[in-house]
Amino acid sequence: MLFLEQMTNKTALVIGATGLVGEETLKQLLKCADYNKVIALPRKPLSIKNAKLENPVVDFDKPEQYNNIKADDVFCAMGTTIGKAGSQAAFKKVDYEIPLSVAGFAVKNGATKFILVSSMGANARSGIFYSRTKGELEQALAKLKYKAVIVVRPSILLGDRKEQRTGEAIGRFAAEKLSFLFAGPLAKYKGTPVDLLAGVMIKMANGDKAGVQIVENDEIFAIAEK
């Protein structure tokens, strides 16, 4: 009985909840019986209303607005592009500094699992700034005292993005219309539907495995099928 109560009394925290993956993750968390409270930390008010949802608007330049946040499982789908951010420093703030700051406060306040949407090719030693930043965040999170750090590394995201991104649109076209190309050894590069990705993140957050778990794109599909 106590076990059952613990299972259903969890609080999830989502950062990046207004994005393509974050919004889908938020929707699925609100439907998931394992969580009785879901907190999102958007920088502008959310239109979604739900009895389980708390969504205080925060300014991430003011850590005092979120440093007392309490949750069990933290989901991070925050990110930007270098084009949108305007500089490497501004990109790193969104894709490294803010997630690490939230992760640090959350674990201090009792969070036990951190689930990160990283990216295929993430590598702290990469010569590509984007991939290196993703890898550096993975490494920094692994040093915090979480029971489990779950890192998913999707390929190009497939979903209904309102904003147009040319490079992504070409990749999405290839991923959707030329899916026969992504067979055999290329299967691991196939596009990752965001609903499938969000489902896998939540499934893994509710698993028993401890430690750092890196989930490559092909494993995301395999876990979804199990």
Ligand X SMILES: NC(=O)c1ccc[n+]([C@@H]2O[C@H](COP(=O)([O-])OP(=O)(O)OC[C@H]3O[C@@H](n4cnc5c(N)ncnc54)[C@H](OP(=O)(O)O)[C@@H]3O)[C@@H](O)[C@H]2O)c1
Q: What is the side-by-side strand order in the sheet with 10-15?
A: 53-54, 35-40, 10-15, 73-76, 113-117, 148-153, 211-216
Residue with smaller CB distance to ligand X, 36 or 195: 195
For the four alpha carbons of 77, 17, 66 and 9, in that order, the dihedral sign comes to negative
Distance between CA atoms of residues 134 and 121, nearest Å: 9
Query: Binding string to ligand X for residues 67 to 86, with x set by CB under 6 A, is what?
Result: ----------xxxx------
Is 130 marked active-site?
yes
Q: Which of residues 103-142 bind ligand X (CB under 6 A)?
A: 117, 119
Given 135, 154, 193, 199, the residue binding ligand X (CB under 6 A)? 154
Distance between CA atoms of residues 189 and 180, nearest Å: 12
Given 7, 9, 43, 181, the residue binding ligand X (CB under 6 A)? 43
Quick check: helix, strand or coil at residue 122? coil
Q: Minimum CB separation from ligand X for residue 156, in Å?
A: 4
Q: Which of residues 168-197 bind ligand X (CB under 6 A)?
A: 168
Is 134 marked active-site?
yes
- When asked if residue 202 is in the footprint of ligand X (CB under 6 A), the reply is no
Among 167, 168, 213, smallest CA distance to 194 is for 168
Query: Which residues form the catalytic set?
Result: 130, 134
